């Protein structure tokens, strides 16, 4: 992953301020239709921790981030919770999870990195594990505030995930404007 945007105290504070009115509550409601409560979930890219707190209402959650600044913020704000320093590609952990959740995190990966992440997710999931990921809808890529952003279509995401997951839900939704985002929920396939 490129860029240092999430790596400094100043930019982490800025991001927390910018994202204060945004959370994945609606996405988590859709996840609840496919993943039973009390399942253990890994959140990739916990960031400010808003989705983590919503997930905690229903699941046993371990948060993670690749930014030590976000991890400091998360640990200071939630000293009783578990957080791992993980990048979204290698997911270096020996733990197994019933679910993996990310909200606008995997779009920072180039296509090859996304494929590596998807393969690794199958390895850290239990046999009937569920994934729930959101992406920006569109085509191409750009560098925004020093961060690589990869846009995806529903068809492209289907191509990435289909070999490894039974897609249970793939739909566009509005985060800021109509159909600017895509939600994908999948169940680990027998490989």
Q: Where are the domains of the chain?
A: 5-188
The mean pLDDT value for 103-132 works out to: 97
Asked if residue 77 lies in contact with residue 20, where contact means CB atoms within 8 angstroms, the answer is: no
pLDDT of amino acid 52:
97
Residue-averaged pLDDT of the chain? 91
Q: Is the pTM of this model over 0.85?
A: yes
- Taking 50 as the threshold, does the pLDDT of residue 85 lie above it? yes
Note the CATH number of domain 5-188: 3.40.50.150
pLDDT of amino acid 1:
38
Q: Give the closest residue to 176 by CA, choosing from 134, 146, 142.
A: 134
Return the structure tokens found at 98: 């019933």
**Whole-angstrom distance, CA of residue 110 vs CA of residue 131:** 19
Return the structure tokens found at 24: 């994945």
Q: Hey, is 86 helix, strand or coil?
A: coil
- Taking 70 as the threshold, does the pLDDT of residue 32 lie above it? yes
Is the four-CA dihedral 73, 185, 58, 92 of positive or negative sign? negative
Which stretches of 68-120 are assigned E, i.e. beta strand?
83-85, 97-103
- 155-174 pLDDT, tens per residue? 999 999 999 999 999 999 99
Q: Give the closest residue to 114 by CA, choosing from 166, 157, 63, 69.
A: 157
Residue 5 confidence class, pLDDT cut points 50, 70, 90: low
- Taking 70 as the threshold, does the pLDDT of residue 8 lie above it? no
Return the structure tokens found at 170: 């793939």
The mean pLDDT value for 30-49 works out to: 96
């Amino acid at each position: 992953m490129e860029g240092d945007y999430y790596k400094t105290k100043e930019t982490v504070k800025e991001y927390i301020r910018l994202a204060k009115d945004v959370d994945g509550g609606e996405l988590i409601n859709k996840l609840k239709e496919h993943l039973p409560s009390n399942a253990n979930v890994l959140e990739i890219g916990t960031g400010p921790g808003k989705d983590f707190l919503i997930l905690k209402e229903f699941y046993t959650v371990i948060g993670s981030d690749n930014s030590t600044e976000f991890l400091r913020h998360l640990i200071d704000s939630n000293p009783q919770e578990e957080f791992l320093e993980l990048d979204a590609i290698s997911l270096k952990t020996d733990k197994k999870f019933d679910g993996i959740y990310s909200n606008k995190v995997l779009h920072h990966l180039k296509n090859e990195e996304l494929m590596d992440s998807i393969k690794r997710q199958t390895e850290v999931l239990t046999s009937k594990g569920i994934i729930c990921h959101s992406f920006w809808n569109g085509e191409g890529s750009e560098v925004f505030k020093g961060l690589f952003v990869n846009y995806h279509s529903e068809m492209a995401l289907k191509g990435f995930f289909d070999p490894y997951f039974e897609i249970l839900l793939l739909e566009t939704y509005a985060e800021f404007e109509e159909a600017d985002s895509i939600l994908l929920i999948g169940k680990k396939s027998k490989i």
